[in-house]
Amino acid sequence: YPNKELSERIGAAKVKSALYRHRLKMEDIEQRHREAAKEIGTLSDRDTFMLGVGVYIGEGSKAIEEVRIVNSNPAIIRIGVCWLRKFCRIKDEHIRITIHAYPDTGISKSLRFWSKQTKIPLTQFGKTIIDNRSKKSDRKYKRLPYGTASLYVRGNGTLERGVKSLHRKIIGWIENTEKQF
């Protein structure tokens, strides 16, 4: 067995090695992010439109004739809001959000968070749903501090051509995109 002095030197060497590897990793991450930023460049309107279609393919309602994007990632919801406003020509008064929260979610904090992220006033938020299922996995406990946002369009009879018509057009965009692969 190594003596105390040798054990301390081995421990110090392990720490030094770990710090060195961590520094190399952080430098590599920064380099890859710089390369990625150059490759992406500035998004054109077409890029942004197609990004929105891609978000809808992954996170949007397709089975029911409603326009809805659900996610816990604020960037995805912000992209959805931008896309709805700019390319679907949805006025702000037709954009709504509901929050699906968990018992450990601070509801008022969550509502303020999503309102700030989306620039949608709290008056356009629907009822928050608290998921109290006891048999549900603890997987999401403390992992979704702001819950999951459900971004949707509500026509209230004043949306030109209606929500169903918009949904059908979005599905057409999706189908025509998918045909190209």
The pLDDT of residue 42 is: 96
Q: Which tokens hold the place of 65?
A: 């004739």
The pLDDT of residue 56 is: 97
Burial 116-135 (b: 16+ CB within 10 A, else e): ebbebeeeebeebeeeeeee
Tens digits of pLDDT across the chain (181 residues): 678 888 888 889 999 999 999 999 999 999 999 999 999 999 999 999 999 999 999 999 998 889 999 999 999 999 999 999 999 999 999 999 999 988 877 888 999 999 999 999 999 999 998 887 666 555 555 578 899 999 999 986 666 678 889 999 999 999 999 999 9
The pLDDT of residue 63 is: 85
The pLDDT of residue 153 is: 94
- 0.95 cut: is pTM over it? no
Instruction: Give pairs for 60-65: CB < 8 Å, separation 24+.
Output: 60/170, 61/152, 61/167, 62/171, 62/174, 65/163, 65/164, 65/167, 65/168
